[in-house]
Protein backbone atom coordinates (compact mmCIF):
# COMPACT_ATOMS: atom_id res chain seq x y z
CA UNK A 1 0.00 0.00 0.00
CA UNK A 2 2.89 2.35 0.70
CA UNK A 3 4.09 1.93 -2.89
CA UNK A 4 0.64 1.99 -4.51
CA UNK A 5 -1.00 4.80 -2.55
CA UNK A 6 1.95 6.90 -1.44
CA UNK A 7 4.47 6.27 -4.18
CA UNK A 8 6.99 4.97 -1.66
CA UNK A 9 8.98 2.26 -3.45
CA UNK A 10 11.33 1.60 -0.54
CA UNK A 11 9.91 -1.88 0.04
CA UNK A 12 9.66 -2.98 -3.59
CA UNK A 13 13.05 -4.75 -3.62
CA UNK A 14 11.81 -6.92 -0.75
CA UNK A 15 8.85 -8.12 -2.79
CA UNK A 16 10.94 -8.52 -5.93
CA UNK A 17 13.42 -10.73 -4.07
CA UNK A 18 13.13 -11.41 -0.35
CA UNK A 19 16.89 -12.00 -0.21
CA UNK A 20 17.41 -8.24 -0.53
CA UNK A 21 16.37 -8.00 3.14
CA UNK A 22 18.01 -11.23 4.24
CA UNK A 23 19.91 -9.48 7.02
CA UNK A 24 16.64 -8.37 8.63
CA UNK A 25 14.34 -11.34 8.05
CA UNK A 26 14.05 -14.32 10.42
CA UNK A 27 16.26 -17.27 9.48
CA UNK A 28 13.69 -19.48 7.79
CA UNK A 29 12.57 -20.40 4.27
CA UNK A 30 10.57 -18.06 2.05
CA UNK A 31 8.57 -18.31 -1.16
CA UNK A 32 7.49 -15.18 -3.01
CA UNK A 33 5.47 -14.16 -6.05
CA UNK A 34 5.98 -10.80 -7.69
CA UNK A 35 4.70 -9.04 -10.79
CA UNK A 36 4.71 -5.30 -11.39
CA UNK A 37 2.34 -3.32 -13.58
CA UNK A 38 5.19 -2.90 -16.08
CA UNK A 39 5.53 -6.68 -16.56
CA UNK A 40 5.31 -7.70 -20.24
CA UNK A 41 3.87 -11.22 -20.39
CA UNK A 42 5.28 -13.44 -23.12
CA UNK A 43 3.53 -16.68 -22.19
CA UNK A 44 0.71 -17.46 -19.80
CA UNK A 45 -1.20 -20.71 -19.93
CA UNK A 46 -4.76 -19.93 -18.83
CA UNK A 47 -6.05 -19.48 -22.38
CA UNK A 48 -8.20 -22.47 -23.31
CA UNK A 49 -6.31 -22.75 -26.61
CA UNK A 50 -2.86 -22.89 -24.99
CA UNK A 51 -0.97 -26.11 -25.72
CA UNK A 52 2.77 -26.88 -25.46
CA UNK A 53 3.20 -26.52 -29.24
CA UNK A 54 1.56 -23.07 -29.32
CA UNK A 55 1.67 -21.68 -25.77
CA UNK A 56 0.73 -18.20 -26.94
CA UNK A 57 0.02 -16.03 -29.95
CA UNK A 58 2.99 -15.91 -32.30
CA UNK A 59 5.06 -18.39 -30.31
CA UNK A 60 5.93 -22.02 -31.06
CA UNK A 61 6.98 -24.57 -28.47
CA UNK A 62 9.11 -27.65 -29.05
CA UNK A 63 10.09 -30.46 -26.69
CA UNK A 64 13.11 -32.69 -27.11
CA UNK A 65 12.83 -36.47 -27.03
CA UNK A 66 12.07 -37.74 -23.54
CA UNK A 67 10.34 -34.55 -22.35
CA UNK A 68 6.59 -34.63 -21.73
CA UNK A 69 5.07 -31.14 -21.92
CA UNK A 70 1.45 -30.49 -20.95
CA UNK A 71 -0.67 -27.46 -20.15
CA UNK A 72 -2.45 -28.43 -16.94
CA UNK A 73 -4.19 -26.93 -13.94
CA UNK A 74 -2.12 -26.34 -10.82
CA UNK A 75 -3.32 -28.54 -7.96
CA UNK A 76 -3.43 -28.09 -4.20
CA UNK A 77 -2.57 -30.73 -1.58
CA UNK A 78 -6.02 -32.31 -1.97
CA UNK A 79 -5.47 -32.59 -5.73
CA UNK A 80 -8.11 -29.94 -6.36
CA UNK A 81 -7.56 -27.28 -8.99
CA UNK A 82 -6.28 -23.87 -7.89
CA UNK A 83 -7.96 -22.07 -10.78
CA UNK A 84 -4.76 -21.34 -12.68
CA UNK A 85 -2.90 -23.28 -15.36
CA UNK A 86 0.77 -23.75 -16.13
CA UNK A 87 3.11 -25.65 -18.41
CA UNK A 88 4.13 -28.97 -16.87
CA UNK A 89 7.49 -30.41 -17.95
CA UNK A 90 8.40 -33.98 -17.01
CA UNK A 91 11.59 -35.75 -18.05
CA UNK A 92 13.55 -38.88 -17.24
CA UNK A 93 17.01 -37.60 -18.13
CA UNK A 94 18.46 -34.62 -20.01
CA UNK A 95 16.04 -32.69 -22.22
CA UNK A 96 14.90 -29.29 -23.40
CA UNK A 97 11.75 -27.25 -23.97
CA UNK A 98 12.10 -24.23 -26.27
CA UNK A 99 9.78 -21.36 -27.11
CA UNK A 100 10.47 -19.47 -30.34
CA UNK A 101 8.74 -16.22 -31.27
CA UNK A 102 7.74 -15.46 -34.86
CA UNK A 103 8.94 -11.90 -34.31
CA UNK A 104 11.71 -11.00 -31.89
CA UNK A 105 10.54 -8.88 -28.99
CA UNK A 106 12.31 -5.87 -27.53
CA UNK A 107 13.25 -6.31 -23.88
CA UNK A 108 14.45 -2.81 -23.09
CA UNK A 109 17.67 -4.24 -21.65
CA UNK A 110 20.75 -2.04 -21.93
CA UNK A 111 23.80 -1.13 -19.93
CA UNK A 112 21.64 1.34 -18.00
CA UNK A 113 18.41 -0.67 -17.87
CA UNK A 114 18.42 -3.82 -15.75
CA UNK A 115 15.48 -5.57 -17.43
CA UNK A 116 14.85 -9.09 -16.14
CA UNK A 117 13.51 -12.35 -17.47
CA UNK A 118 10.77 -13.33 -15.04
CA UNK A 119 8.91 -16.60 -14.63
CA UNK A 120 7.19 -18.63 -11.94
CA UNK A 121 8.10 -22.25 -11.29
CA UNK A 122 6.80 -24.97 -8.96
CA UNK A 123 8.57 -28.23 -8.14
CA UNK A 124 6.32 -31.21 -8.92
CA UNK A 125 8.89 -33.88 -8.07
CA UNK A 126 6.48 -35.61 -5.69
CA UNK A 127 4.34 -36.58 -8.69
CA UNK A 128 7.13 -38.95 -9.67
CA UNK A 129 7.27 -42.44 -8.24
CA UNK A 130 10.03 -42.89 -5.70
CA UNK A 131 10.70 -39.18 -5.17
CA UNK A 132 10.86 -37.77 -1.65
CA UNK A 133 10.29 -34.21 -0.47
CA UNK A 134 13.43 -32.77 -2.08
CA UNK A 135 14.86 -33.01 -5.57
CA UNK A 136 18.58 -33.62 -5.82
CA UNK A 137 18.85 -35.25 -9.21
CA UNK A 138 18.34 -32.38 -11.65
CA UNK A 139 19.19 -28.83 -12.57
CA UNK A 140 17.69 -26.31 -14.98
CA UNK A 141 19.62 -24.03 -17.30
CA UNK A 142 18.06 -21.05 -19.08
CA UNK A 143 19.04 -20.44 -22.69
CA UNK A 144 18.26 -17.25 -24.63
CA UNK A 145 18.57 -16.53 -28.35
CA UNK A 146 18.91 -12.91 -29.44
CA UNK A 147 17.70 -11.22 -32.64
CA UNK A 148 20.79 -12.29 -34.60
CA UNK A 149 20.52 -15.94 -33.52
CA UNK A 150 23.31 -15.79 -30.94
CA UNK A 151 22.67 -18.19 -28.06
CA UNK A 152 23.74 -17.90 -24.43
CA UNK A 153 22.96 -20.22 -21.54
CA UNK A 154 23.18 -19.92 -17.74
CA UNK A 155 22.23 -22.16 -14.84
CA UNK A 156 19.19 -21.14 -12.82
CA UNK A 157 21.31 -21.92 -9.76
CA UNK A 158 23.54 -18.97 -10.70
CA UNK A 159 20.65 -16.76 -9.63
CA UNK A 160 18.56 -18.84 -7.20
CA UNK A 161 18.20 -22.55 -6.56
CA UNK A 162 14.69 -24.05 -6.79
CA UNK A 163 13.07 -24.22 -3.37
CA UNK A 164 12.47 -27.65 -1.84
CA UNK A 165 8.86 -28.36 -0.98
CA UNK A 166 7.45 -27.13 2.32
CA UNK A 167 5.99 -29.79 4.59
CA UNK A 168 2.89 -28.61 6.46
CA UNK A 169 1.88 -30.12 9.80
CA UNK A 170 -1.78 -29.25 10.33
CA UNK A 171 -2.15 -30.50 13.91
CA UNK A 172 0.15 -31.50 16.77
CA UNK A 173 -0.87 -35.14 16.59
CA UNK A 174 2.06 -36.27 14.48
CA UNK A 175 1.48 -39.79 13.10
CA UNK A 176 -2.15 -39.66 14.26
CA UNK A 177 -2.93 -36.65 12.06
CA UNK A 178 -4.29 -38.74 9.12
CA UNK A 179 -6.89 -40.23 11.47
CA UNK A 180 -8.52 -36.89 12.23
CA UNK A 181 -8.07 -34.75 9.12
CA UNK A 182 -10.90 -36.59 7.31
CA UNK A 183 -9.02 -36.46 4.01
CA UNK A 184 -8.82 -32.65 4.02
CA UNK A 185 -5.05 -32.71 3.78
CA UNK A 186 -4.32 -35.59 1.46
CA UNK A 187 -0.63 -34.82 1.28
CA UNK A 188 1.71 -32.98 3.66
CA UNK A 189 3.24 -31.10 0.71
CA UNK A 190 1.69 -28.60 -1.68
CA UNK A 191 3.65 -27.37 -4.70
CA UNK A 192 3.69 -23.58 -4.86
CA UNK A 193 5.02 -21.19 -7.48
CA UNK A 194 8.17 -19.19 -6.82
CA UNK A 195 8.96 -16.16 -8.99
CA UNK A 196 12.46 -16.03 -10.47
CA UNK A 197 13.82 -12.72 -11.79
CA UNK A 198 17.00 -13.06 -13.85
CA UNK A 199 18.83 -9.93 -15.14
CA UNK A 200 19.14 -10.17 -18.92
CA UNK A 201 22.55 -8.52 -18.89
CA UNK A 202 23.91 -11.65 -17.18
CA UNK A 203 23.66 -13.51 -20.50
CA UNK A 204 25.64 -10.76 -22.21
CA UNK A 205 28.32 -11.11 -19.56
CA UNK A 206 28.43 -14.87 -20.18
CA UNK A 207 28.61 -14.37 -23.96
CA UNK A 208 29.69 -10.87 -25.08
CA UNK A 209 28.29 -11.56 -28.56
CA UNK A 210 24.80 -11.91 -27.09
CA UNK A 211 22.61 -8.77 -27.35
CA UNK A 212 19.92 -8.79 -24.61
CA UNK A 213 17.88 -5.91 -26.06
CA UNK A 214 15.81 -8.25 -28.29
CA UNK A 215 14.99 -11.92 -27.77
CA UNK A 216 13.76 -14.51 -30.27
CA UNK A 217 13.92 -17.73 -28.27
CA UNK A 218 13.84 -19.08 -24.73
CA UNK A 219 14.93 -22.58 -23.70
CA UNK A 220 14.53 -24.45 -20.44
CA UNK A 221 17.39 -26.95 -20.51
CA UNK A 222 16.70 -29.88 -18.19
CA UNK A 223 19.87 -31.41 -16.80
CA UNK A 224 19.84 -34.79 -15.07
CA UNK A 225 16.64 -36.37 -13.90
CA UNK A 226 14.08 -37.60 -13.39
CA UNK A 227 12.26 -34.36 -12.68
CA UNK A 228 8.98 -32.52 -13.04
CA UNK A 229 8.18 -28.81 -12.77
CA UNK A 230 5.40 -26.41 -13.74
CA UNK A 231 6.07 -23.02 -15.35
CA UNK A 232 3.84 -19.96 -15.59
CA UNK A 233 3.85 -16.18 -16.08
CA UNK A 234 6.88 -15.98 -18.36
CA UNK A 235 7.82 -12.46 -19.40
CA UNK A 236 10.04 -9.40 -19.15
CA UNK A 237 9.96 -7.03 -16.21
CA UNK A 238 11.78 -3.94 -14.99
Task: Give the mean pLDDT of 209-224.
Answer: 96
Same domain, 5 and 87: no
Name the residue range of residue 203's domain.
36-237
- Assign residue 167 the CATH number of its domain: 2.60.120.260
Same domain, 124 and 12: no
Same domain, 106 and 190: yes
pLDDT band at 11 (very low <50, low <70, confident <90, very high): low
For residue 131, pLDDT beyond 70 = no
Same domain, 24 and 55: no
Same domain, 21 and 106: no
Same domain, 76 and 96: yes
Find, among 178, 208, 216, the residue nearest to 58 by Cα.
216
Find, among 152, 134, 155, the residue nearest to 143 by Cα.
152
- Determine the Cα angle at 76 with ends 72 and 81, to 5°: 45
For residue 133, pLDDT beyond 60 = no
Same domain, 107 and 10: no
pTM listed for this prediction: 0.84
d(CA 16, CA 233): 15
Same domain, 108 and 23: no
How many structural domains compose the chain?
2
Same domain, 13 and 72: no
Same domain, 144 and 224: yes
Same domain, 149 and 68: yes
- Report which listed range, 123-137, 179-193, 203-217, is most confident: 203-217
Same domain, 75 and 171: yes
What pLDDT, on a 0 to 100 scale, did the predictor assign at position 229? 95
Amino acid sequence: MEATLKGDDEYEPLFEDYRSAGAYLPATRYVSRYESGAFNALARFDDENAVPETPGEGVAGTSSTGVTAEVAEALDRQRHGKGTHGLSLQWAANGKYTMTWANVFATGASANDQAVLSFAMADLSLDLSGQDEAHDAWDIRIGLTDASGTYAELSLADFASPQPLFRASITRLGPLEPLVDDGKYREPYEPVFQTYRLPLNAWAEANPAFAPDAIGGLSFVLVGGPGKVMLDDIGIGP
